Amino acid sequence: MGSSRTIFYFVLLTLVLAGFWTIPVSAQGPTPTDDEVNRIAKQLYCPVCESTPLDVCPTEACRQWRDLIRSMLAEGRSEEEIEQYFVEHYGARVLAEPPNRLATYLVPAVAILLGAFMLFRGFRMWMKPSITEAGAADAPPEPEQDPYIAKLEEELRKQK
Amino acid sequence: MIANFGYGVLVITFLVTLYSVFAAIYGDRRQIPAMVESARRAMLLTWPLLTLTAGALIYLLINDHYEVQFVYEVTSRSMPTYLKITAWWGGQAGSLLFWSWLMSAFASLVTLRKWDRDREFLPWVIVVACVTMAFFIGMNVFFENPFAQFYQTFDGVKSYNLKPANSILFTPENGQGLNPLLRHPGMIIHPPMLYLGFVSFVIPYAFAIAALITGRTDDRWIRLTRRWTLWAWLFLSFGLVLGGRWAYDVLGWGGYWGWDPVEIAAFMPWLTGTAFLHSVMIQEKRGMLKQWNMILIILTYDLVIFGTFLTRSGVLSSVHAFAQSAIGPLFFAFIGFTLISSIALIIYRWGSLKSETEMTSLLSREALFLLNNLLFMSILVVCFWGVIFPLISELFSGQKVTVGPPFYERATSPLFATLMMLMGIAPLSAWGRSTVKTLGRAIWKPIVGAVVVTAVLFATYTQKIGALIGFFLVALVIFVTIYEYWRGAYARQRSQGENIFTAFWNLTGRDRRRYGGYIIHISMMLMAIGIIGIETFQVETQGTLGQGETISLRNYELTYREIAQWDDLPSGVNYRRAVLDVYEDGEYLGQLAPRIDYYYDSQQNMTIPGQRSTMRDDLYVLLVDWEPATAAGATFKIYVNPLVNWLWLGSLLFLAGIIIAAWPEKERERAAFKAEARVQQQTSAAD
């Protein structure tokens, strides 16, 4: 009995506060344009349907979220504040990128550098023997003509 | 009846593939050619059997057999017949069957070739192809039966493979209908193309594994599968482009590529496949990189399975994941099994896969090709990490995160730019030896040309530094390629006395792979123009207009004229079509008519943009479907997408390039074969 009354008062309080919260919206200046709303919605991802940016998501939930962005903009809240609000309420997945940038970028960066390092080590290993051999044996003379053209013409002669 | 028949044939096909695997292994180990031949014939049987199964399914789809769960889920009475047929690959169970069917066709084709010189490969090619097929058909038989039917029991209505006791068949009045997004022509051809690409990469993989098992690790397997690989690449590339076009036309976000995990799933095997296409040339010309080529084709195969896994297992929910089910763990196990056993084979044969020659110059063609491989692999790493990071994050920290376009764009754009630069340099370098001097002598003219183009663009088109770098690279690659073409044709003109056009034509015909490859490079650059255009210059606006009101974007003004709404009852669609007058700098250009199509059966909207396409830009207008659209007011979203048409133009040229490169060169091959046979005869006579 006691708990349901608490819930009732809580709901009532929420509604009253929500009412106060919306009043300044109408009291403020011009309503933000669709473009202003979309500029922020584009940065956010639909919390329900994954992989869909909020500015193009057709669901009713997203429509309400866009309205929420509009009213928050009308209140004068900044882009960061609005993003923060969405992260607090729906989790980090509403952001287009994970909040921990370092973890996201570090692994591929290290993997790529490692790959590059291995490749260049491989190059050096491959090159070494041929450099020593080249001095002694068959160092080819610098071709006078472009090697490609020479090869091409040689092939063409063969096919004739 | 037909459903039971279809399921029965499917079970038989499954058993046939298993038999084929065992007969091939047994025949090879015990040296019984008749067993291997039996395995080959069993594999040849899979295609007619699966065609029969597919025929049964198509019959059920066309004739509204809604007692079959799959038919109920993907069709409805209002759908036209051609859509009922293509609904075959519109859902989970059907698309797995479609995969197996295409695979069986390719496996049959490959076994029909002459095997005289490559007998020892045959059993192992059969094993790989049939294990792959058995896996996919097994999925259908045990988990995703397209022929499962609804039965009413005491527990209610459920679908069963076989009729349970005390039940009666339950037939719903109408089906749910295909997701409207899948009714678009692009989406009808896109999955078959993608799947064709996927399954045709199984063939080179099968030959690679056969080479590893038999120890015949020279470049024979590469020569045998060269054309397969090119066709696989053609289908996969075309599948990707069609997917992009579909997204542009129906998804209503004004773009063609959203870095969605499922798009990336199809892109990853393309990356390794492209790296493979380049690096096999090093093995053919210089006898190097044998181990690496094996790794690349194994990766491509497993990324193909991984791609199907991502789209089909429901492990990621995304716009593409229309069909989901609990077959994920099995896919995962299969990927693990094939990857580990393939890598184990490479380690086993490591010694015989050593390079025959050494690298001689950092600027040689082979060194630059290796760099190209590094870049493709780097893009792969970025893509793979982006796709699995949300899963890792959820698994370890419980936090769900999104890895969206900003990550991919930031991480891959320097890699793509370097790749373009390489595309400019590599064609000018020679195999074996190349020095700064020879390279510099060849490249200075194209560089001057590219600088001039960039300067002109700076003065007349854009001052954005990123775009200018992009355009410089595009111009460089195009000039280098044309210059290369010109040098070849000029040399031919002199030595053969041909006129320049004949010389161009014959040059391409003589070395299709090389010049087809150059056409592909140019087409890639045309596509790059489109990508640079839309990525850096796209603008958009959204607004609600009353009749007669105007909205403007860039030089365009659009005036809302009228709206009409009507039902097309036979098709089960409600149309709302708005008409806008389009002006550019005050000059009347014509009308655009964006639409919202509402499908009654699946209760879904589809937004069809009004588009005005030129080579300069696309004007792309959407009727926003979550706002009311009436004469009093309708909300429009308008994009100007500069240069995007170059993307589609480039993809057509791309297609032409691959066809040139992959076109069979019959006469030459036959001549080569004859020459080889002659040499063999002579040597045996000498013995």
Question: What are the structural domain ranges in chain A?
Answer: 2-94, 102-136
Distance CA B8, CA B3 (A): 9
pLDDT for res B663: 82
Is residue B548 domain-shared with residue B488, that is, in the same domain? no
> Which residue in the set B381, B542, B625 is minimally distant from A38, CB to CB?
B542
H or E stretch at B197: helix B185-200
Percent helix, percent strand, percent coil in chain A, to nearest 5: 70, 0, 25
Q: Cβ contacts (< 8 Å) between A153 and chain B: which residues?
A: 491, 495
Is B665 a member of any domain? Answer: no
- Whether residues A123 and B359 touch (CB distance < 8 A) is answered with yes
Lowest mean pLDDT among A143-157, B216-230, B333-347, B469-483: A143-157
Over residues B239-279, the pLDDT tens digits come to: 999 999 988 988 777 788 888 888 899 999 999 999 999 99
Buried b (16+ CB within 10 A) or exposed e, B46-68: bbebbebbbebbbebbbebbbbb
Is residue B263 domain-shared with residue B327, that is, in the same domain? yes
List of residues 6+ apart from B123 with CB closer than 8 A: B24, B25, B27, B28, B36, B39, B210
Q: Say whether pLDDT at A69 is over 90.
A: yes
Lowest mean pLDDT among A5-9, B18-22, B218-222, B654-658: A5-9
> Which residue in the set B370, B487, B626 is minimally distant from A119, CB to CB?
B370
Average pLDDT, chain B: 88
When scoring B324, B396, B401 by the number of chain A Cβ atoms within 10 A, the one with the most, hence best to mutate, is B401
pLDDT for res A129: 58
> ∠ CA B381-B386-B390 to the nearest 5 degrees?
140
> Which residue in the set A122, A129, A153 is minimally distant from B491, CB to CB?
A153
pLDDT for res B593: 95
pLDDT for res B654: 93
- Whether residues B374 and A157 touch (CB distance < 8 A) is answered with no
- Whether residues B430 and A148 touch (CB distance < 8 A) is answered with yes
Tokens coding B560: 């809302």
The alpha carbon of residue B359 is apart from the nearest alpha carbon of chain A, in Å, by 5
The one-letter amino acid code at B261 reads P
Q: Which residue of A has its CA nearest to B607?
A: A58
Q: Say whether pLDDT at A18 is over 80.
A: no
- The gap from C-alpha B85 to its chain's centroid, in whole angstroms, comes to 22
The runs of H, that is alpha helices, within B316-435 are 328-348, 365-397, 405-425
Distance CA B639, CA B253 (A): 9
Over residues B15-33, the pLDDT tens digits come to: 999 999 999 999 999 999 9
Is B570 a member of any domain? Answer: yes
pLDDT for res B569: 86
**Higher-confidence residue: B205 or A18?**
B205
Q: Say whether pLDDT at A21 is over 80.
A: no
Query: What is the pLDDT confidence band of residue A24, given thresholds at 50, 70 and 90?
Result: very low
Distance CA A30, CA A6 (A): 39
- Mean per-residue pLDDT for B185-202? 89
Share of chain B above pLDDT 70, in %: 94
Is residue B263 domain-shared with residue B347, that is, in the same domain? yes
**Higher-confidence residue: B398 or A106?**
A106
Number of domains in chain B: 4
When scoring A34, A37, A44, A51 by the number of chain B Cβ atoms within 10 A, the one with the most, hence best to mutate, is A51
ipTM of the predicted assembly exceeds 0.85: no
Tokens coding B520: 């592909």
Q: Which residue of A has its CA nearest to B292?
A: A119
pLDDT for res B634: 92
Is B249 a member of any domain? Answer: yes
pLDDT for res A142: 42
Task: For residue B351, give the nearest of B488, B215, B539, B467 by alpha carbon.
Answer: B215
The runs of H, that is alpha helices, within B63-121 are 69-74, 81-86, 92-112
Query: What is the pLDDT confidence band of residue A153, given thresholds at 50, 70 and 90?
Result: low
Edge-to-edge strand ranges of the sheet holding B610-613: B539-545, B634-642, B617-623, B610-613
Is residue B482 domain-shared with residue B552, that is, in the same domain? no
- The gap from C-alpha B62 to its chain's centroid, in whole angstroms, comes to 28
Lowest mean pLDDT among B205-219, B316-330, B451-465: B316-330
The alpha carbon of residue B620 is apart from the nearest alpha carbon of chain A, in Å, by 14
List of residues 6+ apart from B117 with CB closer than 8 A: none
CB atoms within 10 A of CB B492: 22
pLDDT for res B351: 82
- Whether residues B253 and A53 touch (CB distance < 8 A) is answered with yes
Task: For residue A39, give the nearest of A60, A70, A63, A64 by alpha carbon.
Answer: A70
Query: What is the pLDDT confidence band of residue B326, given thresholds at 50, 70 and 90?
Result: low
Is B15 a member of any domain? Answer: yes
Distance CA B460, CA B453 (A): 11
Query: What is the pLDDT confidence band of residue A102, given thresholds at 50, 70 and 90?
Result: confident
Is residue B162 domain-shared with residue B57, that is, in the same domain? yes
Query: What is the pLDDT confidence band of residue B422, given thresholds at 50, 70 and 90?
Result: very high
Distance CA B552, CA A92 (A): 36
Distance CA B207, CA B589 (A): 57
Give the count of Cβ contacts less than 8 A between chain A and B: 145
Query: What is the pLDDT confidence band of residue A133, given thresholds at 50, 70 and 90?
Result: very low
- The gap from C-alpha B376 to its chain's centroid, in whole angstroms, comes to 16
pLDDT for res B686: 44
Distance CA A62, CA A51 (A): 13
pLDDT for res B386: 93
Is B660 a member of any domain? Answer: no
Query: What is the pLDDT confidence band of residue A134, given thresholds at 50, 70 and 90?
Result: very low
Domain boundary among B145, B161, B178: B178
Q: Cβ contacts (< 8 Å) between A99 and chain B: which residues?
A: 401
- Superfamily of chain region A2-94: Cytochrome C biogenesis protein (1.10.8.640)
The segment with the largest mean pLDDT, out of A59-73, B109-123, B244-258, B429-443, is A59-73
Query: What is the pLDDT confidence band of residue B563, given thresholds at 50, 70 and 90?
Result: very high
**Higher-confidence residue: B216 or B664?**
B216
Is residue B572 domain-shared with residue B429, that is, in the same domain? no
**Higher-confidence residue: B154 or A26?**
B154
Q: Cβ contacts (< 8 Å) between B442 and chain A: which residues?
A: 146
Residue B281 region, left (φ>0) first, then alpha (ψ -120 to 50), else beta?
alpha
Distance CA B592, CA A44 (A): 30
pLDDT for res A132: 46
Is B663 a member of any domain? Answer: no
Q: Say whether pLDDT at B633 is over 50.
A: yes
Site of tokens 């199509």:
B597
User: Can you give the residue range of the structural domain that contains B128?
Assistant: 1-178
Is B687 a member of any domain? Answer: no
Is residue B187 domain-shared with residue B303, that is, in the same domain? yes
Helical packing angle, B2-29 and B33-62, nearest 10°: 160
Q: What are phi and psi of B569, to 5 degrees?
A: -65, -40
Is residue B347 domain-shared with residue B207, that is, in the same domain? yes
> Which residue in the set B258, B319, B495 is minimally distant from A156, CB to CB?
B495
Q: Which residue of B has its CA nearest to A95?
A: B402
| Cα distance between the two ends of chain A | 102
Q: Say whether pLDDT at B318 is over 60.
A: no
Domain boundary among B143, B159, B178: B178
- The gap from C-alpha B459 to its chain's centroid, in whole angstroms, comes to 38
Is residue B560 domain-shared with residue B518, that is, in the same domain? no
Query: What is the pLDDT confidence band of residue B603, given thresholds at 50, 70 and 90?
Result: confident
**Higher-confidence residue: B223 or B399?**
B223
Is residue B574 domain-shared with residue B456, that is, in the same domain? no
Q: Which residue of A has its CA nearest to B370?
A: A119
Domain boundary among B504, B522, B537: B537
Is residue B499 domain-shared with residue B530, that is, in the same domain? yes
List of residues 6+ apart from B320 with CB closer than 8 A: B260, B262, B263, B311
Q: Say whether pLDDT at B669 is over 70.
A: no
pLDDT for res B630: 81
Q: Say whether pLDDT at B451 is over 90.
A: yes
Is residue B400 domain-shared with residue B416, that is, in the same domain? no
Average pLDDT, chain A: 74
> Which residue in the set A112, A152, A160 is minimally distant from B488, CB to CB?
A152
> Which residue in the set A34, A112, A129 is minimally distant from B381, CB to CB?
A112
- Whether residues A112 and B378 touch (CB distance < 8 A) is answered with yes
pLDDT for res B187: 77
Q: Cβ contacts (< 8 Å) between A105 and chain B: which residues?
A: 407, 411
Measured CA distances, B392 to A64, B181, B268, B385, B386 (Å): 31, 31, 19, 10, 10
The alpha carbon of residue A130 is apart from the nearest alpha carbon of chain B, in Å, by 6
Is B544 a member of any domain? Answer: yes
Over residues B582-594, the pLDDT tens digits come to: 999 999 999 999 9
The segment with the largest mean pLDDT, out of B187-196, B326-335, B339-348, is B339-348
